[in-house]
Structure 1
Amino acid sequence: MDDSFPTDGNPVIQTMQVSELKLDPQNPRLPEELLGQDEPTLLAWLEESETLEELASSMLANGFFAHEPLVVRATDGGAPYVVVEGNRRFATLSILLQLPAAQDGDLHFDFEVEPTDSQLERLRSVPCLVVNHADDVRKFLGFRHIGGLKTWKPEAKARYLETEVDAVAAEGRPSPFKEVGKRVGTNALGVRGPYVALKVLRVAREELGLGDLAAAVLRDRFGVWNRLLNSSEVRDFIGLGDALDYVSVQQSLTELNSENLRRVLTDLLPAEGARLAVLQDSRDATRYGRVIASEVARTTLAAHGDLDLAYQLVDSQTFKKRAWDLTRSVEILTQNIDSFDIGPEEVAIAGSLLTAARNLNAVAGSRLDEAD
């Protein structure tokens, strides 16, 4: 690990007993609902979600990798030290060594061959990079995980950036987005986007009564949600607008349209009994924005839950081109009818297609008569 991240002092690497360490309950990488939880709960989540058993096998075979120490910070009373970087490795050690939190959570690894005493003994003390100041911790995390090589998931990044931006703004310094961007190796836009996306979800949860929706999007679809807010149509639809500076962003958060926001958040999640959401992929964000900006397309999307179908209503193709494409599709289907199994259901669908075509012909004819 590169130990040259910016600090006010000189970080020191020293060997520490694993029993002197504890998990960080405010680790930005944790899901938001786990922040502040007790150590057995955090350890259980890490064991379930982070595939620790493979890491445990590696540690037993090779020992702890000295070139990548844990990063720890002393608490006010000294020991125990809080692990601010390397919680996955520390969680693995905790379970292997059966520290109290692992015993309280009844957590253990199921190895075919139990570890030997000597294998465990050499893991009881590990190299740690001791950081003395909270400011140094924040700088390190931003340097390493926002613009560096070991990036966090979008939701964890956003929570870190939120803390940093709000801290800069609270100190009265200008251009918080730009300043934090410089710290983490990005620009103001790279900070403002995830910051705003997270803040909108917080307002939805805490002020607009959309708690369950906001929590689910934050947990499961934050990357797509962040990308979706790049769409000016979506921002306008939810009342967010195009605020650029910190003060304007805070004002825009007070002007959100609750019902429209509910609509967009709902489209990001599978409906009850459905396998997929209306908006399945961030690559569809542009098309979704165009649909949501059109009342007729929005209505179609709400009725059918089909983004492709709704998008046809705002596609730039002319009626003539679209109708001709549909005609050719039916002709090709007819020519290849022998390659399909045809039963009563298929005949009924063909009948529905015939009815729809007759209705289209009648409506087009009436429009022509009106024009005359």
Structure 2
Amino acid sequence: MNVDDLTFDMQNPRMAEFDHGTDEASVIKLLWESMDVRELVQSIAASGYFPHEPLIVACEKGRNVVIEGNRRLAAVKLLLNRQLALDHDWEVPNLKAAALKELRQLPIIESTRKDAWRFLGFKHVNGPAKWSSYAKAKYIADVHREYDIPLSQIAEQIGDRHKTAQRLFRGLMVIEQAEKAKVFDRNDRFNPRFAFSHIYTGLEGDGISKFLGIADSSAESKSPVPKGKLTELKELCLWLYGSKSKKIEPVVKKQAPNLWELNSVLQNREALASLRDNGDLVAATELTRSRTEVFEEALLRAKRELTRARSFLTEGYDNSEDLLRIAGSVAELADDVYSEMERKRSPGRRARLTEEN
């Protein structure tokens, strides 16, 4: 089919997690910047378009929509119209007329979304060309709602043996419920990238799931969070994603270990109160741990830092009196800590113990 007769799929789950325009130039820009179209451009320019990789096309409302192969279509369109690339200073090879002529007609398979969902699901949800977790969830939800197919059947068809489909669906339903209840706005998140995996993974933790009173993933509920827990849902979304308008950063910077630290905090009343008061996940997490564990870790950390400082002393110390006073304060603190530890361990002992004796 002629490339000019093919259009991009605006319902593509992979594009749904990004803000973009609906015109062709905006879609190509998104695909180039976020989905590695550059590599496809170089590959097709060097070797041509592989005929054994046809696009899957659905005829919808008189348009030939590419439901599988949008990145390849973008690469070909850029090679055929280098001006699109030049407008953005993208490097696109200048092909000879014969090569361009071959690219004007691409192999396709005509299908419908309903007929193609099993193949697309296997390839992108559980197969070799995996989408992001959000794109997977969006696709599973679309198939489930559009064709009334149970999640268990979707999981079976795509070779999912770990209830991934159910967990992804539940995560998306929680986000959609939060947005419908106006306790969360995805577009107001602090970071540019929407870390959907935070929510769908976090819901597997006892602390987060009990905090929300959430339904089990097998329930297939469209509103998994009880109405009485919407305030908690608002809090959780703020901790996971922050707020750009309020200039609040998320407390979960990285999924590991921050997500599981948050999960532990939500199971401890004192730690939860601390997090609500000051938004400090590190301080709240310390309240979930034994005092012995925190003390030992702090002592070992202090030793490591002092050892590091000593290794730089010869070349790093410039005879500053201020630094000498700081070292004196550190020594006094160390003496105080040691004296108190010694008193607690053996009140009658006077000789100082070290690691060497």
**TM-score exceeds 0.5:** yes
Q: TM-score, normalised by structure 1?
A: 0.73
**Equivalent in 224, 236, 252 of residue 252 of structure 1:** 224
- Pair 1:146-2:125 in alignment: yes
* TM alignment of 1:61-80, pairs within 5 A: 61-77=46-62, 80=63
RMSD: 4.0
Whole-angstrom CA distance in 2 between matches of 1:335 and 1:52: 49
For 2:348, the equivalent position in structure 1 comes to none
Task: Tell whether the 8 Å contact from 2:188 to 2:243 is kept in structure 1 after alignment.
Answer: no
For 1:234, the equivalent position in structure 2 comes to 208
CA drift of 1:156 comes to 0.3
- Pair 1:266-2:235 in alignment: no
* TM alignment of 1:92-131, pairs within 5 A: 92-98=75-81, 109-111=90-92, 114-131=94-111
Task: Tell whether the 8 Å contact from 1:26 to 1:35 is kept in structure 2 after alignment.
Answer: no
Task: Tell whether the 8 Å contact from 2:144 to 2:151 is kept in structure 1 after alignment.
Answer: yes
Whole-angstrom CA distance in 1 between matches of 2:11 and 2:191: 21
Quick one: which amino acid aligns to residue 83 of structure 1? V
Whole-angstrom CA distance in 1 between matches of 2:305 and 2:91: 56
The alignment of Structure 1 onto Structure 2 pairs a total of residues equal to: 331
SS in 2 for 1:81: strand
* TM alignment of 1:158-177, pairs within 5 A: 158-167=137-146, 169=148, 176-177=150-151
Task: Tell whether the 8 Å contact from 1:71 to 1:129 is kept in structure 2 after alignment.
Answer: yes
CA shift digits 1:63-108 (9 cap, x unpaired): 111121111122343xx42111110010111122229xx8699568
Whole-angstrom CA distance in 2 between matches of 1:205 and 1:115: 47
For 2:323, the equivalent position in structure 1 comes to 343
CA shift digits 1:335-354 (9 cap, x unpaired): 77644667389569859979
Quick one: higher RCO (CA 8 Å, sep 6+), 1 or 2? 1
For 2:66, the equivalent position in structure 1 comes to 83
Q: Structure 1 pair 106/332, CA: closer, same or farther in 2 (3 Å)?
A: closer
- Pair 1:39-2:11 in alignment: no
Whole-angstrom CA distance in 2 between matches of 1:336 and 1:60: 53
Whole-angstrom CA distance in 2 between matches of 1:270 and 1:351: 41
For 1:290, the equivalent position in structure 2 comes to 264
CA drift of 1:166 comes to 2.5
Deviates most, 304-313 or 221-230? 304-313
For 1:367, the equivalent position in structure 2 comes to none
**Equivalent in 156, 163, 173 of residue 199 of structure 1:** 173
Q: Structure 1 pair 126/168, CA: closer, same or farther in 2 (3 Å)?
A: closer
Q: Percent identity?
A: 24
- Pair 1:310-2:284 in alignment: yes
Gaps of 5+ in 2: 345-357
Quick one: which amino acid aligns to residue 93 of structure 1? V
Q: TM-score, normalised by structure 2?
A: 0.76
CA shift digits 1:45-78 (9 cap, x unpaired): 112223333322322221111121111122343x
Gaps of 5+ in 1: 1-15, 365-372
Q: Structure 1 pair 345/241, CA: closer, same or farther in 2 (3 Å)?
A: farther
Task: Tell whether the 8 Å contact from 2:125 to 2:131 is kept in structure 1 after alignment.
Answer: yes
CA drift of 1:124 comes to 0.9
SS in 2 for 1:73: strand
Task: Tell whether the 8 Å contact from 1:97 to 1:120 is kept in structure 2 after alignment.
Answer: yes
Quick one: which amino acid aligns to residue 116 of structure 2? V
Whole-angstrom CA distance in 2 between matches of 1:290 and 1:190: 23
Task: Tell whether the 8 Å contact from 1:224 to 1:282 is kept in structure 2 after alignment.
Answer: yes
CA drift of 1:287 comes to 2.8
CA drift of 1:31 comes to 2.7
CA drift of 1:241 comes to 4.4
CA shift digits 1:182-202 (9 cap, x unpaired): 122114732221111111111
Whole-angstrom CA distance in 2 between matches of 1:183 and 1:110: 40
